[in-house]
Amino acid sequence: MNIYVGNLSHDITEDELRQAFADHGEVASANVISDKFTGRSRGFGFVEMPKDDEARAAIEALNGTDLKGRTLNVNEAKPRNDKPRGGGGGGGGRSW
C-alpha cells in the first residue's frame, strides 16, 4: 500500500521516515519529496508498505502523532491524476 505522509519537518531524512514506519511492519520504500530547484523538502512524502494490514496499522498509529516537532498527517495515498495541469491555451487574440 502506498501511504501519504504530510506535514513533515523540512529537515527529515528518508531514513528517519522509514524508521518511523518500520516500527509497524515491513517498509519497501520511503521517499521525502523535495523541490526540484532548491532541493529542500516540500513537507510531504510517501511510504510503500507491501502488507496492507501492516500499512493500515501504521496509518492508525502514526496519524496525528509528532515526528521531529510536526504533527503528521498520514493516510492512504490517492492514485495520481496524470491530467495536464494549468491552462489550456486558446488565443483570444487576432487571427491574421
Domain span at residue 37 reads 2-76
pLDDT per residue rounded down to tens, the chain (96 residues): 999 999 999 999 999 999 999 999 999 999 999 999 988 899 999 999 999 999 999 999 999 999 999 999 999 999 877 655 555 555 555 555
Whether residue 30 is contained in a domain is answered as yes
Q: How far is CA 13 from the centre of its chain?
A: 13
Give the three cell numbers for residue 73.
498527517
CATH number for the domain spanning 7: value is 3.30.70.330
**pTM score, two decimals?**
0.81
Whether residue 25 is contained in a domain is answered as yes
Whether residue 93 is contained in a domain is answered as no
Whether residue 26 is contained in a domain is answered as yes
Distance CA 42, CA 20 (A): 19
Among 45, 79, 73, smallest CA distance to 59 is for: 73
Whether residue 71 is contained in a domain is answered as yes
Whether residue 88 is contained in a domain is answered as no
Task: Identify whether the C-beta of residue 77 lies closer than 8 Å to the C-beta of residue 4.
Answer: yes
Distance CA 72, CA 60 (A): 11
Give the three cell numbers for residue 79.
492514485
Whether residue 89 is contained in a domain is answered as no
Whether residue 64 is contained in a domain is answered as yes
Query: How many domains does the chain fold into?
Result: 1
